[in-house]
């Protein structure tokens, strides 16, 4: 019975359970298989959004707080990942991770975030 390599389809010689003709084909096959996992980027983004939400929730117990930016960054917060935004009457744009939002400000030459929670009046554009 003739067996074929799983990767290159060449004939395999050797033991009965062998799936690849060479270590190159075995390595190339698993590299290609892992490369094709589409959800890996999705999982990375989803993990960071959840991390951001957890950090914002942890520091925003009162619904409105100002905190140093560096403090959030040390906790693993990444402001590049957010789910949506809201623009207030002053034209300031708050970025949100689910129901927790943040606004980047500079106060006394220090970068800070104003943290807020989503409110029902924010639905009206």
The reported pLDDT for the residue numbered 19 is 94
Banded model confidence at residue 33, pLDDT cuts 50, 70, 90:
confident
- Could you read off the pLDDT of 89-104 as tens digits, one per residue? 999 999 999 999 999 9
Interval 99-120 mean pLDDT: 95
Interval 21-50 mean pLDDT: 85
Residue with tokens 């060449």: 10
Cβ atoms 114, 95 nearer than 8 A: no
Banded model confidence at residue 31, pLDDT cuts 50, 70, 90:
confident
Closest by CA to 65, choosing from 110, 107, 113, is 113
- Could you read off the pLDDT of 49-62 as tens digits, one per residue? 999 999 999 999 88
Which uninterrupted H or E stretch holds 87?
strand 84-87
Closest by CA to 117, choosing from 62, 54, 68, 46, is 62
Cβ atoms 85, 97 nearer than 8 A: no
**How many angstroms separate the CA atoms of 55 and 111, rounded?**
17
């Amino acid at each position: 019975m003739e067996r074929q390599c799983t990767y290159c389809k060449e004939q395999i010689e050797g033991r009965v359970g062998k799936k690849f003709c060479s270590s190159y084909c075995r390595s190339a096959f698993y590299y290609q298989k892992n490369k094709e996992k589409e959800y890996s980027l999705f999982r990375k983004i989803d993990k960071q959004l959840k991390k951001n939400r957890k950090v914002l929730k942890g520091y925003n117990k009162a619904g409105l707080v100002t905190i140093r930016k560096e403090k959030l960054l040390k906790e693993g917060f990444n402001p590049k990942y957010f789910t949506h935004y809201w623009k207030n009457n002053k034209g300031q744009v708050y970025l949100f991770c689910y129901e927790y939002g943040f606004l980047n400000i500079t106060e006394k030459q220090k970068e800070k975030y104003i943290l807020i929670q989503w409110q029902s009046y924010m639905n009206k554009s």
